[in-house]
């Protein structure tokens, strides 16, 4: 029997354990902004990580839930398995989206994004150490708690671990059909604040400086940066300003989401947005914000990792494709450091951040097997 077949057999034999693990995590709701709830979920996850042999460290934070680091094996070559257990759903969402099976679907808040991914990583790691005794690798899992709000308290931690790793495998959901993510756009958010001068719109229409008139010009300038042929999107998503119809507006503001596929494009757009200048004399334009997540570019290291995934996939009879997404993840931070990073290794399903969120049960064991085979190959590799 080949190693692939053994891994597949082991993962198949643990399907009930896998589903039970995922269900236990989904049952403990963990919205990013409710620390107590996140920490309760984290405590259960920590207990389960220790149960399968992980050396678990809880990294406490005051402004978010505590992050978890779990280490398996003692090799010198570190492979990082990365993900988050915070979700976008409030406490009580389970009443509206109960954890339930519907045919091949396992439904529930946070099941796809990305508690199933954590379960998959745990099973794949168990399989690796069950079969490949004396593996050269050291598997480090980092499960963070503020990915959904920008990873402000976890970024330094995950970057430190990524720098020490030969590869980073991110357990975010797969693209449709199980396709892996080899590139992600960088994500920026800006606020443009315009200040003018108030005046009576009827009595003194020639006086004052309309911040709204100025902002309208700024929005048109921002729109010229929106260029999908370059993969760049610029979305003015919120505007506000003014006080009354008969007052020339003294202030107006816009909030803008920006996505860019490469660092070069991100820098170009960033420079243009920061360089916005007023058209009307007497108006002031202030820009704040920037790129929160750098682009995850398809570097040679990323491509090599994907080829390895394809190779083990074909040994398992799985055809593995690659794709890109405009959504960011913590994989962006790791890839931007130059560490080979592969994302989307998590579950198949649909409806992340939506009420029909679910994973496909029939895909779970396949994904765990794919990951365990990739870990086995990485552990044996000396690159
Ligand atoms: Zn996620």
Residue 288 Cα, ligand 1 centroid: separation in angstroms?
26
Region 48-70: mean pLDDT is 97
pLDDT, the chain, mean? 96
Question: Percent of the chain beyond pLDDT 70?
Answer: 98
- The model carries a pTM of 0.92
> Residue 134 has what pLDDT?
56
Listed in sequence order, the residues at least 6 apart from 303 whose beta carbon sits closer than 8 Å to its beta carbon are: 182
Token digits of residue 326: 């405009």
Residue 351 Cα, ligand 1 centroid: separation in angstroms?
12
Which pLDDT tens digit goes with each residue over 106-141? Answer: 999 999 999 999 999 999 999 999 987 556 789 999
Spatial distance between the Cα atoms of 72 and 53, rounded to a whole number of angstroms: 7
Residue 292 Cα, ligand 1 centroid: separation in angstroms?
15
Exposure string for 66-87, b = 16+ CB within 10 A, e = fewer: bbbbbbbbeeebbbbbbbbbbb
Residue 80 Cα, ligand 1 centroid: separation in angstroms?
16
Phi and psi torsions of 340, nearest 5°: -55, 125
Spatial distance between the Cα atoms of 44 and 37, rounded to a whole number of angstroms: 11
* Residues forming CATH 3.30.70.360 domain(s) in the chain: 186-293
Residue 190 has pLDDT above 90, yes or no: yes
Residue 353 Cα, ligand 1 centroid: separation in angstroms?
9
Spatial distance between the Cα atoms of 134 and 188, rounded to a whole number of angstroms: 44
Which pLDDT tens digit goes with each residue over 211-220? Answer: 999 999 999 9
Listed in sequence order, the residues at least 6 apart from 159 whose beta carbon sits closer than 8 Å to its beta carbon are: 333, 334, 337
Element (H, E) at 150: none
Residue 346 Cα, ligand 1 centroid: separation in angstroms?
10
Which pLDDT tens digit goes with each residue over 313-353? Answer: 999 999 999 999 998 999 999 999 999 999 999 999 999 99
Compute the half-sphere exposure of residue 322: CA atoms within 13 Å on the CB side of its CA.
Answer: 18
> Residue 297 has what pLDDT?
96
* Residues forming CATH 3.40.630.10 domain(s) in the chain: 3-184+295-380
Residue 84 Cα, ligand 1 centroid: separation in angstroms?
6
Residue 383 has pLDDT above 60, yes or no: no
Quote the DSSP letter at residue 261. S
Element (H, E) at 80: strand 77-84
Residue 9 Cα, ligand 1 centroid: separation in angstroms?
29
Residue 222 Cα, ligand 1 centroid: separation in angstroms?
29
Residue 117 Cα, ligand 1 centroid: separation in angstroms?
9
Residue 189 Cα, ligand 1 centroid: separation in angstroms?
18
Fold of 186-293: Alpha-Beta Plaits (3.30.70)
3-state secondary structure of 138: strand
Q: Who surrounds ion ligand 1 at CB < 5 A?
A: 113-114, 172
Nearest to 230 by CA among 258, 188, 192: 258
Region 74-95: mean pLDDT is 96
Residue 193 Cα, ligand 1 centroid: separation in angstroms?
31
Paired residues of 100 in beta bridges: 107
> Residue 378 has what pLDDT?
93
Region 292-303: mean pLDDT is 96
Residue 327 Cα, ligand 1 centroid: separation in angstroms?
10
Region 179-200: mean pLDDT is 97
Residue 59 Cα, ligand 1 centroid: separation in angstroms?
20
CB 346 within 8 A of CB 120: yes
Spatial distance between the Cα atoms of 67 and 69, rounded to a whole number of angstroms: 7
Is it true that domain 3-184+295-380 has CATH number 3.40.630.10? yes
Residue 134 Cα, ligand 1 centroid: separation in angstroms?
32
CB 163 within 8 A of CB 142: no
């Amino acid at each position: 029997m080949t190693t692939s077949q053994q891994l597949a057999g082991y993962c198949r034999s643990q399907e009930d354990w896998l589903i039970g693990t995922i269900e236990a995590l989904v049952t403990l709701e963990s919205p990013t902004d409710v620390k107590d709830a996140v920490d309760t979920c984290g405590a259960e996850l920590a207990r389960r990580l220790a149960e399968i042999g992980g050396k678990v460290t809880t990294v406490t934070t005051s402004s978010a839930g505590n992050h978890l680091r779990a280490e398996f094996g003692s090799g010198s070559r570190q492979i990082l398995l990365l993900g988050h257990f915070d979700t976008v759903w409030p406490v009580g969402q389970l009443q509206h989206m109960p954890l339930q099976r519907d045919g091949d679907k396992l439904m529930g808040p946070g099941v796809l994004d990305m508690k199933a991914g954590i379960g998959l990583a745990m099973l794949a790691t168990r399989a690796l150490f069950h079969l490949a005794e004396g593996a050269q690798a050291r598997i480090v899992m980092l499960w963070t708690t503020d990915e959904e709000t920008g990873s402000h308290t976890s970024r330094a931690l995950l970057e430190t671990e990524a720098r020490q790793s030969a590869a980073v495998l991110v357990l975010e959901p797969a693209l449709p059909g199980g396709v892996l993510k080899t590139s992600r756009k960088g994500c920026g958010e800006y606020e443009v604040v315009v200040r003018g001068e108030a005046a009576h719109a009827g009595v003194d229409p020639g006086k004052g400086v309309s911040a709204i008139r100025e902002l309208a010009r700024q929005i048109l300038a921002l729109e010229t940066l929106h260029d999908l042929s370059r993969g760049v999107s610029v979305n003015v998503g919120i505007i506000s300003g003014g006080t009354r119809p008969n007052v020339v507006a003294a202030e107006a503001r816009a909030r803008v989401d920006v996505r860019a596929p490469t660092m070069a494009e991100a820098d170009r757009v960033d420079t243009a947005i920061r360089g916005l200048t007023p058209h009307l004399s007497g108006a002031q334009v202030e820009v704040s914000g920037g790129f929160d997540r750098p682009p995850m570019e398809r570097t040679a290291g990323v491509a090599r990792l994907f080829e390895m995934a394809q190779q083990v996939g074909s040994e398992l009879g799985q055809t593995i494709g690659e794709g890109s997404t405009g959504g960011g993840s913590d994989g962006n931070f790791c890839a931007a450091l130059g560490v080979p990073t592969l994302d989307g290794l998590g579950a198949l399903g649909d409806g992340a951040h939506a009420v029909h969120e679910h994973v496909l049960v029939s895909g779970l064991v396949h994904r765990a097997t794919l990951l365990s085979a990739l870990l086995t190959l990485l552990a044996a590799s000396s690159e």
